[in-house]
Amino acid sequence: MKLHRGPGLFLFLLLCLSGVGYTLASRMGYLNRLQARFFPSAKEAVRLSPGDFPAGVAAPVADVASVPLRPVLVGFSPRGSAAALLLATGGATTLDAPGAPPGAAQGLLKTAYALDARAVLFARDEELRHALAIGAENGGVDMAALSVDRLADWTPSLRDAAPRTVMLVGRSRGQEALAAVGVPDLASLRGKRLGVYPASASHYFALWLLSRIGLRMSDVTWVELPSTLDAGRALREGRADAVVGLWGDVELAARDRGGAVLATTADAPHLLATVLVARGDFAARYPDAVRRVLRGLLDAGQAVQKDPAQAARLLGDVAPYLGDPTEAIRSAPPATLADNRSFFGLSGEAPVTYDELFQSASALFQKLRKRAPAPPAEDTRDLGALKYVSEARGP
């Protein structure tokens, strides 16, 4: 059978030659050069950030300064456990006016540990997250008191800050509460409007309550509040049938409208734990400052337990919406050294440890928001300073 040349044969040969030429040009790098010259935008842009490198790479080789030559800024949102921080620093300031107010008393950190530290007040947790993310050198803070669930939720956005949990500040044992008007019990929340500030520990408490009574998230109508402090106002104005917020705020609002408090964190005293979180670069550069802060907070916590009067006065000045400051301290007392040891698994036993709380909160938010998993709990804590203080103080 005689073969006849046709246009298909030439097309086949052309394709073979093109394939060979493409392969050779690719291996010799000609294609990359052409792309960079004629299509520079087609090449994927890689953005580098501080989170791509270990937080301590810029720490000095020797101890140039054991503590910063400026005040150490510790951000917090008012809770009863913040009383120890206020006593340790002498009171609260703001980022707009970070200097100590005229006539302010010196705190334990200054008098006992020669550390100039300021407690910086934040009304919204989201603002505190941003301040920790940018750091004190850029108008933020060096350390922050956050609930573990907030840290688990925000760890991806705080990646460049490399946050490290260094101690337990306190637990909520009735500080957060759900109050309602026209709702006789928790099961009756189905179909009701539930107001909550989503970037808060109160939101995490609300999720726990729904799980306890077997309601799905879609079984209530969520009313997003601008801050936790708006919960009582939303209940008074009828914008929500139930709200989750601070007990001193929502209990009074519910009482004014003939409602009641249906649940508090006294029902889950190990759910909301506030921890002290340091930026990774700050902890690596000034480990002695971190140790002094821990010592000062533990000393202040002991003083609050013995006599809460002075700490209650400081707390009442900065957070009147907590209600009776003495009662606020009772419902969220400062953590002791024994509490810290058990919470972080150094000694003793705790019903819920830091790792368990962080991992469960991370898994929950991953489930709700369908995002990449957070790092393991052990990558978010640095217990070196706590172990040092614990060993120095003995059993």
pLDDT per residue over 81-124, tens digit each? Answer: 999 999 999 999 998 877 766 656 789 999 999 999 999 999 99
Strands 260-264 vs 72-76: parallel, antiparallel or unpaired: unpaired
How many Cβ atoms from other residues are within 10 Å of residue 216's Cβ? 9
The dihedral of CA 95, 97, 201, 184: what is its sign? negative
pLDDT digits (tens, 9 = 90+) for 130-160: 999 999 999 999 999 999 999 999 998 999 9
Nearest to 329, CA basis, from 247, 257, 263: 247
Distance, CA of 266 to CA of 275 (rounded, Å): 18
Instruction: Report, in angstroms and rounded to the nearest whole number, the Rg of the chain calculated over CA atoms.
Output: 27
Helical residues (DSSP H) of the chain, grouped into ranges: 7-27, 30-38, 82-89, 108-113, 125-134, 148-154, 201-213, 231-236, 247-256, 280-285, 287-306, 309-318, 325-331, 337-343, 354-369, 384-393
Output the pLDDT for position 32. Answer: 67
From residue 146, give the alpha-carbon distance in Å to each of 32, 100, 391. 48, 23, 25
pTM: 0.85
Output the pLDDT for position 44. Answer: 55
Length, in residues, of the chain: 395
Output the pLDDT for position 374. Answer: 77
Same fold: 72-172+273-393 with 176-267: yes
Output the pLDDT for position 38. Answer: 61
Span between the terminal Cα atoms of the chain, in Å: 100
Calculate what percentage of the chain has a pLDDT beyond 90. Answer: 75
Q: Domain 72-172+273-393: which topology?
A: D-Maltodextrin-Binding Protein; domain 2 (3.40.190)
Output the pLDDT for position 66. Answer: 80
CB 285 within 8 A of CB 59: yes
What string of DSSP letters covers 183-213? --SGGGGTTSEEEE-TTSHHHHHHHHHHHHH
Output the pLDDT for position 1. Answer: 47
Distance, CA of 100 to CA of 49 (rounded, Å): 34
Distance, CA of 104 to CA of 394 (rounded, Å): 34
Distance, CA of 84 to CA of 335 (rounded, Å): 9
Output the pLDDT for position 145. Answer: 98
- Residues β-bridged to residue 178: 244, 263
The H or E element that residue 39 is part of is: none
What string of DSSP letters covers 158-183? TGGG--EEEEEEEE-SSSEEEEESS-
Domain 176-267 carries which CATH code? Answer: 3.40.190.10
From residue 363, give the alpha-carbon distance in Å to each of 145, 175, 335, 368, 382. 22, 25, 26, 9, 21
Average pLDDT value over all residues in the chain:
89
Q: Output the CA angle 393-327-308, nearest 5 degrees.
A: 40
What token pair was written down for 84? 């120890």
Q: Where are the domains of the chain?
A: 72-172+273-393, 176-267
Q: Output the CA angle 139-145-146, nearest 5 degrees.
A: 105
CB 117 within 8 A of CB 110: yes
Low-confidence residues of the chain, pLDDT below 50? 1, 3, 42
Q: Is 252 exposed, middle or buried (0-12, 13-18, 19+ CB in 10 A)?
A: middle
